[in-house]
Structure formats: C-alpha cells, structure tokens
Amino acid sequence: MTTSPSSPALPALERLLRSLHGAVLGQPHVVADLVTAFLARGHVLLEGVPGVAKTLTARSMASALGLDFTRVQFTPDLMPSDILGTHVFRPQEGAFHLVKGPIFTELLVADEINRTPPKTQAALLEAMEERQVTLDGTTHTLPPHFFVVATQNPLELEGTYPLPEAQLDRFLMRVRVGYPPPEAELDMVRAFHQRHGRAAVVERVLDAATLTQLQERAASVACDESVLSYTVRLIRETRANPRVRLGASPRSAQALLAAAKARAALQGSDFVTPDDVKAVCPSVLNHRLLLKAEAEVEGLTADDVLRQTLERVQVPR
C-alpha cells in the first residue's frame, strides 16, 4: 500500500529533492542515487571526468541535509594519518593528545580518491564499515549520519590508482556522472553569469530528527518474498555469466535490497517493487563485478552485463 500524501516523510523528501535539483542541474539520476544511498545508510562513489559537478553535488547534499562537511583532496603523498588523525605529545601536559583528522565529520568528501595509493585508501575501510576509527588501540565513534561521498576520475586518466575490491565493496553505489544535456548546460552557464561567478547557495531543508526518521522509514519498507527471490536471482545470474570472472556476492544482495527499499521510500511507497530493484541495480552492482580479460578486450563492461542480467531474469508478477 502506497504512503498517503499526508505522510511527514514525503514533504521532507520533496523539499530535499527540490533543493538538490535546483543546485545540480541536468543530473536527476545522480541526485536520486545520492539520496537513495543516504537513506540506506550507505556511501557513494561518484565517477566522471573533471568538471561535471561531482564535488558541487556532494557540497549541495551536505548543505541541504545540514550536515558538517569536510573535503579532503586525495593526492599521491597523502598519508593515513592525514585522514584519521594522530596523537601529539604536549610537553606542558606531559601526555599525548589526539588531534582528530578530517574523517571526524558527518559528510566526508574524498575528492579524487583514486589519486592516492591503496594504503591511504584503506584508511577509510573501518570508518565506512563500522562508523568508527581505531587509533593506537582506542576506538572513537563517528557521528550517526556519517556519510562518505568519494569522487574519482576514469582510470585511463594519468596518475590514478585502481581502488581495491575491498575498498569498492564499502560503497553502496558507484554512480556515473556524465555531461548534462544541452539545455541544462545552458542553464548552468546562465546561472553562473547571473550570480557573477558565485556558487549557488543551498539552504538546509531537513533537521537531524527528520534525517533519522527518513532512514528508519527506508529500513522498514516491506518487501514481498517474490521480490526477495528476484533480488537473489539477479545476483546469482551475474555469477553464471560466462563473461564474468567474479560475480556479485551475497553481501551484494543485501546491498541491492537496502538500496531498493530506500528507493521505494524515496518514491513514497511502503513496499518494494521489482522496478525499485531494477532502478538501483546498475549503480549498486557495477563496481562489484570483475569481467574476464577476453570480455574486456571485446569492449564489454559491467554495465553491459547488468543490462543482460536484467533482461534474462524473469520479473515476478
């Protein structure tokens, strides 16, 4: 049964989407996936060439949600302690004092995450999975709405490092950010001109209590047994594909379900449909498949495999 228009969640989500669409022009799928991931308490990897508003999208999200925002520019010489922090000895106190790193925030933008070596990328693993950081044997809890939005450039660009599978798996979604359509690009230039080059101001539209309510509502969305079975069949079909070296894992099925429930909540529904699963499937699974070398030589991509998978697996009625 669909939620009634009087549900308090719907106006809140409508305000959020309206705010983001006003700041991030011509990228409705990016906005939808970003909000979906936040509702599902997941993290997002935005992939695209420089200049397509990846960082602007993350900043706009932080402003609209009212979250503390920290941006870290990932570079080849960035060290794990530059992200996590370190203990510094203070002679006047005769003791070590923790200087917290930028990871102690609510929304962390890891800009160009694939420009730093795997050792530094790995500094994010515990924080993204457990929402905590362990330094010198002491565990420090991160804020409840801790949310990582990482950006990366395509690997064919110079000076980039592929993200290891363990790091990729921490992201609920990898979202492709392409060029906007012509009319949206014209609107961007017009707005830039009218603001005399100043960035758009995004006002906070949700409070902390509403954020928690929305996430809890997404987690409680109902799902019929037939849709659960459909989700698992999609996952298993990726493993059966002869072009795939490593298919999606059982944890991928859980991620797909969590994202589908969040997408249903975003649509104002109390239950998950197969269309919700199909809508989030590409972004949830495209970074969890490894193709065989011959498939890559032929120009096949994970997105191609997922399109085939969605066509082959019968949708429940």
- Low-confidence spans in the chain with pLDDT less than 70: 1-9, 155-158
pLDDT of residue 9: 56
- Domains belonging to the chain, first-starting first, are 1-217 (3.40.50.300), 221-317 (1.10.8.80)
pLDDT of residue 287: 95
226-257 pLDDT per residue, tens: 999 999 999 999 999 999 999 999 999 999 99
Give every CB contact of residue 163 below 8 A, 6+ residues apart in sequence. Answer: 45, 113, 114, 118, 121, 152
pLDDT of residue 2: 41
pLDDT of residue 155: 67
Through-space distance between the first and last CA atoms of the chain, rounded to whole angstroms: 16
Specify which residues 95 forms β-bridges with: 90
Q: Which helix (H) or strand (E) holds 188?
A: helix 182-194
Cβ(248)–Cβ(302) under 8 Å? no
pLDDT of residue 309: 96
Longest dimension (CA), the chain: 71
DSSP 225-252: HHHHHHHHHHHHHHHH-TTEEE---HHH
Give every CB contact of residue 137 below 8 A, 6+ residues apart in sequence. Answer: none
Cβ(68)–Cβ(108) under 8 Å? no
